[in-house]
Structure 1
Amino acid sequence: MFRFNQVFLLVVFLFMFAFKNKQVVHAYNVALVEYLSDYKVFPYLNSLDLGNRNAKIYADIIKDIKNKNHSVDIVVFPEATLVSEPLNTEKGIEGMTFVPEPKEEIIPCDSSSEKFTSFFKLLSCTARKYQIYLVINLKEKDNCAGSDCLSRPLKFYNTDVVFDRNGKVIARYRKFNTYLEQDTDRPKQPELITFETDFGKTFGLFTCFDIIYKSPAIDLARSGISNFIFPTLWIPELPFLTTIQVQQMWAQGNDATLLAAGAADPRFGSGGLGIYLGRRGNVATLATPRTDNYYLVGEVPDNVDFNPTCSVDVNNKIAREMDQYTLYKEDLSKYAYKKIDIEESKTIKESLCQEQNDSKLCCNFQIEATVSESKQDYCERKYEYFLVVRSGMRTYGYKTYKNDIEVCGLIACAGDSIDDCAKRFPNYEDIAWPVTFNSIKIAADFPDTKERMQFPNSLLADFTPISPSCTTWKVEKNKGNSDLTHTFSTNVPVTKLLTYGIFGRNYALDVKKNETTANTSTA
């Protein structure tokens, strides 16, 4: 049981003035909030009362942000923290609100309509009071008509809403790729939603599980949008899909700016925030799940010459804190794999392949590593390392969803079997890390098609990825055929490594649920 007698705020101020020779033009300031999803803490509240309670806390957080950081332009709250009550119940529907279309140019703060809940109006007023762009996620209801509405007169959506500095609704995005959201509907087609700001940036919107799919996220990026807002309640999974790991890989792969705000749920190790500048690097990330609310404030520079200092140092305090969380583990039984024997100053060159139907994925690994005998003798608990390759279908969410992945990876394993991979030793303090990877280079060829996308993927012991400024990600035309060669290389020695690889998706082979299933449960 988590207590909310007061709001605990951890503020991280990040200013880029250290880059004296890098002039920042048209920069803007953002605040990202990690908020604890809490409806089970207050079972006596109906969803409307819960929404009112959380909206007041949202407003208090915004007040604190603006009091300490007058120049903040945009505040982003995570997914599923304003109203989390299960839908399609009387208690649940009470806390859902109608959301106007942006073209109506409605300011809920000024509206007397009963279509809008009191907490929705409060947040509109808060955006105007503090002169900010405000991004929230809520449960939306909308009238339903037609043959697909026989079971109920309303549709329910997981919706992102953006208020401008006057409290006007300027964007509404209804999540398309829902995840284990009982009775949540989705649009018949993905919506490519953007909004413009007075500081010269146009943002695209997508939510949580959308990040795994082509539309709307990849389609927005390929349309020329380079700035994105990503509310999420992410359930992390080893070895390739933990929270900050996924956020950075998407930003780096698309060379896009991503503002990610994650909901906290310590039961699953959920939580995490990040300001990512694509292949230039990150302004800041925070990965540790918490049992209170906190926010991160950062300045987003606009100049393309921004280059943060490369660092692969692991935060041991955060790594120790992660001991208390049990994370999900991907089933690796269908991967091709090979355990590698890392000896002093040995260069490892391996090619590992896996076939799927008429296609074949071959991953080429080149690794230079050294082993410190003193560290190795310090403790018997140390990770082994496996090379892994996967080209084929995988499932998510208790086998509810299937999609096609194409993966090349070097991963840490808590034993000599593939079943030990993506598992962690229980006590970080008892782990020895004798292996230093002086260099890692992974390369693979993929067909040049818009139905595929590949991402650089990495993870250190403190559950942060390796900064893009410490790696090189190249995509080049293959001289021998029409494929694209993707290469992911380290630029500096790395220790305490959990994952390093290429995470790819073949969207054309995704298994899609039919419309009826999608509209009555999840998609």
Structure 2
Amino acid sequence: MWKGAAWRENQPIYGSLCLVPPSVEPVPRLLSSSSAVVHLCWALAQAPWSTARPAKHYIAAVYEHRSVLSPNPLDLTSCQQALKLMKQNLDIYEQQVMAAAQKGVQIIVFPEDGIHGFIFTRTSICPFLDFMPSPRLVRWNPCLEPFWFNDTEVLQCLSCMAIKGQMFLVANLGTKQPCLRSDPRCSHDRRYQFNTNVLFSHNGNLVACYRKHNLYFEAAFDIPAHVDLVNFDIPFVGQFGMFTCLDIPFFQPAIQLLRDSEVKHIVYPMTLMNQLPLLAAIEIQKAFQSAFGVSVLAANIQHPTLGMSDSGIHTPLKSFWYHDMDNSEGYLIIAQIATNPLGLVGIENATSETDPSHNKFLKILTGHLSCERDTQEVHCEEAAKWNMKAPPTFHSEMMYDNFILVPVWGKEGYVQVCSNGFCCHLLYERPTLSKELYFLGVFDGLHIVHGTYYIQVCALVKCGGLNFDTCGQEISEAQGLFDFHLWGNFIISYIFPLFLTSGYP
């Protein structure tokens, strides 16, 4: 089990890529017209929320949720049964909100699919959907104004939780909106169905919603006609942005949102299966934070049997995270976060000066090797000295892609490997040698499994064994220590530096 800071230098490495609320009576609110459905939530009176908090920091929480799942998600069930199942998850949410409130938490994030589950069809998910009005058009408090709209039971409950805990609350749920037959995008059932994040203020107002754009095997949901670029202000922090799971590597919405706004904090519900060695959830969260200098509040589902774990709060200075593939319990992460992290820094804003530590590293490793750095890559004029006995290149499949690989041997050196003019370079030094085989890999092309995407990847990864045919396998442990610099001539300035180690930090 991993807890604490995400990584530090000289650890075993097995993968790296380059307002006061109105008074609320403590009366239970029935969340369905049916008398057979139990009460889902309570709206309780609370002391006034104070804005007189430290300006430099705020307290955040993310909850990795062990969700109660439908035993037959492909089968259509009744609204009463759907509400009964969702109540079990919402009860856990409320417990975590109250636990967080005792610690002074000001904002909490819950994961994607945490309330209703997953693997639904378009029809079978229908009883689980709430109607979603636009927060931009309607100022609405679902807890205090439950009769404004029908089919909003989950929204009412989340709103009441936010009031009860006196905190901002982010959650994910399935929503529906009617559409006209004249709309060419409208389905035969005359409604849109969206995978939706919602934000409630501490007084229960619905502040913002985001509809997931980059769906991943989600037949139950529609892709919105337009990309939602959602940012919102929170009084004690500033601007937040919001998106969901697989949205994170795409220009829309994630990168465009940061580029076109003053967002410095991201709330990020997700349901992600870890795919080693290059796509572990914790790896992606920290990579996005490192690439753009923002704080990331990421909540994942906890289902080890499905390969799901890893949640965290990541800042430019430190990460607080949780990974446990053996336990099956949820976990609440709480951390104090600076309100003003570094912000978006792209290559186009970088200087041509080389970092002093980089210069020192080059000097130590290369001796007379003359290297200089421009905004795109490092050029080493005499790099061939390391390749007098150049190691062989070979091909291996990794993450369903055909990588070109070169072994990384010895205690120090420089190696490179290229594909279609895209080259990856590695300068490295090893304090001690381990009985393991590592490689530098390159991929430049279309990823065509589970979607079609053009990607460029440079990767330093441990092989599954000591033979070349084990390279690219899923691995989760390593003993090798590296000091290294990894770079490539990428065609885009937004690069995700993914880094994953084994063991405790």
Verify same fold: TM over 0.5.
Answer: yes
Q: What is the aligned counterpart of 1:81 among 88, 110, 114?
A: 114
Match among 140, 147, 153 for residue 106 of structure 1: 140
Aligned residue identity for 2:169: L
Larger mean Cα displacement after TM superposition, 71-80 or 146-155: 146-155
Distance 1:168 1:281 in 2: 32
The aligned residue for residue 353 of structure 1 is 418
Aligned to 2:444: 391
Aligned twin of 1:60: 95
Return the match for 1:442 from 478, 481, 486. 486
Partner of 1:258: 296
Q: Partner amino acid for 2:279? A: L
Distance in 1 between the 2:154 and 2:255 partners?
Answer: 33
Out of 210, 224, 236, the position equivalent to 1:173 is 210
Question: 1:120 is matched with which residue?
Answer: 155
Distance in 2 of aligned mates of 1:425 and 1:191: 37
Residue 362 of structure 1 corresponds to 423
Residue 407 of structure 2, aligned match among 320, 324, 339: 339
Structure 2 equivalent of residue 461 of structure 1:
502
8 A contact 1:243–1:287 mirrored in 2: no
Q: Kindly provide the amino acid, as one letter, of the partner of residue 457 in structure 1.
A: L
Q: Cα deviation per residue 1:408-437 (whole Å; 9 max; x = unaligned)?
A: 1110001244542343569x6xx7x3x432
1:196 is aligned to 233
Shift of 1:46: 2.9
Residue 222 of structure 1, CA deviation: 0.9
Q: Is the 8 A contact 1:34 1:295 kept in 2?
A: yes
Which structure ranks higher in relative contact order (CA pairs < 8 Å, sequence separation ≥ 6)? 2
Report the Cα distance in structure 2 between the residues aligned to 1:117 and 1:233, rounded to whole angstroms. Answer: 23
Letter in 1 for 2:423: C
Distance 1:35 1:26 in 2: 29
Alignment-derived partner of residue 501 in structure 1: none
Distance 1:423 1:40, change over 3 A: farther
Closer, same or farther: CA 86–423 of 1 in aligned 2, 3 Å: closer
3-state secondary structure, aligned to 1:401: coil
The 1:86/1:443 distance shift into structure 2, 3 A limit, reads closer
Please say if residues 135 and 161 of structure 1, whose CA atoms lie closer than 8 Å, have aligned partners that are also in contact. Answer: yes
Q: Deviation digits for residues 264-318 of structure 1, max 9, x if unmatched?
A: 12123211121112xx33241112244112201111123669xxxxxxxxxxxxx
- 1:340 Cα deviation (Å)? 2.3
Secondary structure, in 3 states, of the residue corresponding to 1:408? strand
Q: Secondary structure at the match of 1:49?
A: helix
Aligned-pair distance for 1:116? 3.5
The 3 A distance-change label for structure 1 pair 55 and 415 is same
Which of 109, 122, 125 is the aligned partner of 1:92? 125
C-alpha contact (below 8 Å) 2:304/2:324 kept by paired residues:
no
Residue type at the aligned position of 1:257: S
Tell me how far apart the structure 2 counterparts of residues 387 and 13 of structure 1 sit (CA, whole Å).
29
Q: Tell me which protein shows more strand as a share of its residues.
A: 1
Distance across 2 between alignment mates of 1:87 and 1:142 = 18
* Aligned counterpart, 1:506: none
Query: 1:331 and 1:304, CA in 2 relative to 1: closer, same or farther beyond 3 A?
Result: closer
Distance in 2, Cα, partners of 1:27 & 1:389 = 41
For 2:129 and 2:93, locate their aligned partners in 1 and report how far apart those are by CA, in whole Å: 17
Matched, 1:230 2:260: no
Q: 1:425 to 1:76 in 2, by over 3 A?
A: closer
Q: Does 1:410 align with 2:460?
A: yes
Distance 1:89 1:334, change over 3 A: closer
- CA–CA distance in 1 between the matches of 2:184 and 2:436? 57
CA deviation after TM superposition for structure 1 residue 330, in Å: 3.8
Kept in 2: contact 1:102–1:170 (CA 8 A): yes
Deviations along 1:149-177, one digit per CA (max 9) or x if unpaired, are: 25211111000000001111100100000
Q: Return the alpha-carbon distance in structure 2 between the equivalents of residues 46 and 121 of structure 1.
A: 18
Q: Secondary structure at the match of 1:410?
A: strand
Counterpart for residue 317 of structure 2: 281
Shift of 1:445: 2.2
Matches within 5 A, 1:284-299: 284-289=320-325, 290-299=327-336
What is the distance in 2 between the residues matched to 1:123 and 1:199?
21
Distance change (3 Å), C-alpha of 1:245 and 1:88: closer
In the alignment, the residues of structure 2 paired with residue 41 and residue 369 of structure 1 have an alpha-carbon distance, to the nearest angstrom, of: 50
Aligned to 2:58: 28
TM-score w.r.t. the length of structure 1 is 0.69
User: For structure 1, which runs of at least 5 residues remain unmatched after alignment?
Assistant: 1-9, 15-23, 306-328, 377-381, 467-523
Q: CA deviation at 1:85?
A: 5.5
Distance 1:90-1:401 versus aligned 2 partners, 3 A rule: closer
Report what 2:307 is aligned to.
Answer: 269
Distance 1:122 1:250, change over 3 A: same
Give the partner amino acid of 1:353: C
C-alpha deviation, 1:47, in angstroms: 2.1
CA distance change for structure 1 residues 332 and 180 in 2, over 3 Å: closer, same or farther? closer
Deviation at residue 332 of structure 1 after TM alignment: 5.8
| CA shift digits 1:91-146 (9 cap, x unpaired) | 52122101221131100112214524323212111111221100000000111112
> Percent identity over the alignment?
27
- Cα distance in 1, alignment partners of residues 200 and 283 from structure 2: 29
Q: Which amino acid aligns with 1:144?
A: C
Shift in alpha-carbon separation, 1:62–1:336, aligned structure 2, 3 A: same
Q: Structure 2 residue aligned with 1:47, among 82, 86, 106?
A: 82
In our comparison, the structure showing a higher alpha carbon Rg is: 2
Give the aligned partner of residue 374 of structure 2.
Answer: none
Aligned-partner Cα distance in 2 for 1:213–1:251: 14
Aligned residues: 391
Aligned equivalents of 1:136, 1:168: Cα separation in 2? 14
- Map Cα deviations across residues 307-359 of structure 1 (whole Å, 9 max, x no partner): xxxxxxxxxxxxxxxxxxxxxx94365211111222xxx3211121110xxxx
Match of 1:147? 184
Amino acid at match of 1:281: L
Map of 1:480 onto structure 2:
none
Coordinate RMSD, CA, aligned: 2.7
- Partners of 2:487 and 2:216 lie apart in 1 by 32
AA paired with 1:92? Answer: I
Q: Is the 1:232–1:260 contact (alpha carbons within 8 Å) kept by the matching residues of 2?
A: yes
Opposite residue 323 of structure 2, the aligned amino acid is A
CA distance in 2, matches of 1:287, 1:363: 30
Q: Do 2:413 and 2:429's aligned partners in 1 also have CA atoms closer than 8 Å?
A: yes
Provide the rounded CA distance (Å) in 2 between the counterparts of 1:42 and 1:333.
34
Confirm or deny: 8 A CA contact 2:65 2:110 kept in the other structure: yes
C-alpha contact 1:85 1:91 (8 A) present in aligned 2: no
Distance 2:340 2:168 in 1: 22
- In structure 2, relative to structure 1, the CA distance for the partners of 1:181 and 1:109 (3 Å cut) is same
Preserved CA contact (<8 Å) 2:163 2:202: yes
SS at match of 1:30: strand
Residues 1:42 and 1:444: Cα distance change in structure 2 (over 3 Å): closer
